[in-house]
């Protein structure tokens, strides 16, 4: 599961963010004070942090600077009621990856989170290795394990998984999968994609009939949820 750390001292905003993030399928860790937030950012294995700038104890600016010094790859989205350009520039200069001014739309914030997570995974891991649920994938060695036991996947199944993982949380159309994974010159059909997805679920999901990670999106295609 993808974990989001929310460092925010306004309890109303904090609870609203926590509720919406959990609804989107994220695990949520929270902190309401600067030093507590810094500790959790450095010690807990979160995938992204939503960071308020104005915090008691230690400011968001200081947290951002200290975190990026030790974990430059850790994605940070700054949240603040301030809208002045100087505040935005100061935050980005310290290494923040994105910046959202309160009040913000939940849909826009979720889209920014998904985009930043995709970029971070692509840059940080280059998908040489990737884990989700009980599954561990080694794209360099073309090796897959489920609960520590090796499972045989074809090269094309690895390619399909790679593309879905690179677009995690995003509904991917069958035709895009055909184009990017198979290439139209191979003359496959959308049924080919469906059959591969069924096989991947059978091999990787705990309950293939009720998948948790490789989901169907009605009328579109499929979505990978970490």
Mean pLDDT of 63-76: 86
The secondary element (H helix, E strand) that includes residue 38 is: helix 34-43
Q: Please write the tens of the pLDDT for every residue from 15-25.
A: 999 999 999 88
The answer to whether residues 76 and 157 belong to one domain is no
* Residue 58 structural domain: 3-125
The answer to whether residues 86 and 154 belong to one domain is no
pLDDT value, residue 190? 75
Residue 52 contacts residue 59 (beta carbons within 8 Å): no
The domain tally of the chain equals 2
The answer to whether residues 14 and 37 belong to one domain is yes
The answer to whether residues 111 and 200 belong to one domain is no
Percent of the chain exceeding pLDDT 70 equals: 89
The answer to whether residues 87 and 142 belong to one domain is no
The answer to whether residues 102 and 156 belong to one domain is no
pLDDT value, residue 122? 59
Rounded to 5 degrees, what are φ and ψ at 75? -70, 135
The answer to whether residues 112 and 27 belong to one domain is yes
The answer to whether residues 70 and 172 belong to one domain is no
The answer to whether residues 90 and 191 belong to one domain is no
Residue 80 contacts residue 52 (beta carbons within 8 Å): yes
Task: Kindly report whether the global pTM for this prediction surpasses the value 0.75.
Answer: no
In 24-138, which ranges are continuous DSSP H helix?
34-43, 60-70, 85-93, 106-125
The answer to whether residues 145 and 94 belong to one domain is no
Residue 102 contacts residue 78 (beta carbons within 8 Å): no
Q: Please write the tens of the pLDDT for every residue from 158-172.
A: 999 999 998 888 889
Mean pLDDT of 9-17: 95
Question: Residue 9's domain is classified under what CATH number?
Answer: 3.40.50.2300
């Amino acid at each position: 599961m993808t974990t989001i750390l929310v460092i925010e001292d306004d309890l109303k905003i904090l609870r609203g963010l926590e509720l919406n993030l959990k609804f989107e399928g994220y695990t949520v860790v929270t902190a309401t004070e600067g030093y507590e937030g810094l500790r959790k950012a450095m010690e807990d294995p979160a995938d992204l942090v939503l960071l308020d700038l104005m915090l008691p104890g230690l400011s968001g600016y200081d947290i951002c600077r200290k975190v990026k010094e030790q974990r430059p790859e850790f994605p940070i989205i700054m949240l603040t009621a301030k809208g002045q350009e100087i505040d935005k520039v100061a935050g980005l200069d310290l290494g923040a990856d994105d910046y959202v001014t309160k009040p913000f739309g939940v849909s826009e914030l979720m889209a920014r989170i998904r985009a930043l997570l995709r970029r971070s995974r692509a840059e940080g891991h280059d998908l040489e290795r990737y884990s989700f649920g009980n599954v561990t994938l080694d794209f360099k060695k073309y090796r897959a394990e489920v609960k520590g036991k090796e499972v045989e996947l074809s090269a094309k199944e690895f390619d399909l998984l790679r593309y879905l993982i690179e677009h995690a949380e995003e509904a991917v159309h069958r035709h895009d999968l055909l184009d990017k994974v198979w290439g139209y010159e191979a003359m496959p059909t959308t049924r080919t994609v469906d059959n591969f997805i069924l096989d991947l679920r059978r091999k990787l999901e705990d309950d293939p009939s009720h998948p948790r990670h490789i989901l169907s999106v009605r009328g579109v295609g499929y979505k990978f949820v970490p």
